[in-house]
Amino acid sequence: MNANTIPTSILHRPQGRVLVVDDEPHVLAVAKAILDSHGFDVTICDSGEQALRLLADARNHRHRFAAVVLDLTMPGGMSGFEVMEAILQIDVDVAVIACSGYFQEDARDLCQAIGFADVLQKPYTLDHLCATVRRCISSRDKAAQPAHA
């Protein structure tokens, strides 16, 4: 079967809903473009407060996000750590990826102990962003599947 005979619905199957939260407009634009081009349904916002409203609304309308890429340092509002704590109150099943340009060596272990699914160092590459989001969504999907006896 070649690409001309594969139904369009299979070629463009959504990879999952992703929320990207960052206070830098250019980071939001780049992340959205990258993830959109790889089949993700992407929503962007520039504050933790707005992210929490979007997550709650998505949960209430049964159209949850599969993953959130969350900048940890957003001046003037909630920190990424505060947002993460609130996300866990809204939707414990969403895969939250900590994103920052300021990670130290032990950041991955610390972030995962807090509840983050993974960490993403800025600046990130197209491949690293997509692979991290896919891996986190896949891990959450597998964890949500019931075990067979």
What tens digit of pLDDT does each residue of 1-16 get? 444 454 444 444 457 9
Confidence (pLDDT) at 139: 85
pTM for the full predicted model? 0.85
Contact 118, 77 (CB under 8 A): no
Q: Which fold has domain 14-135?
A: Rossmann fold (3.40.50)
Confidence (pLDDT) at 13: 47
Domain residue extents for the chain? 14-135
More confident residue, 74 or 68: 68
Q: Tell me the mean pLDDT in the region 107-115.
A: 85
CA 122 to chain centre: 14
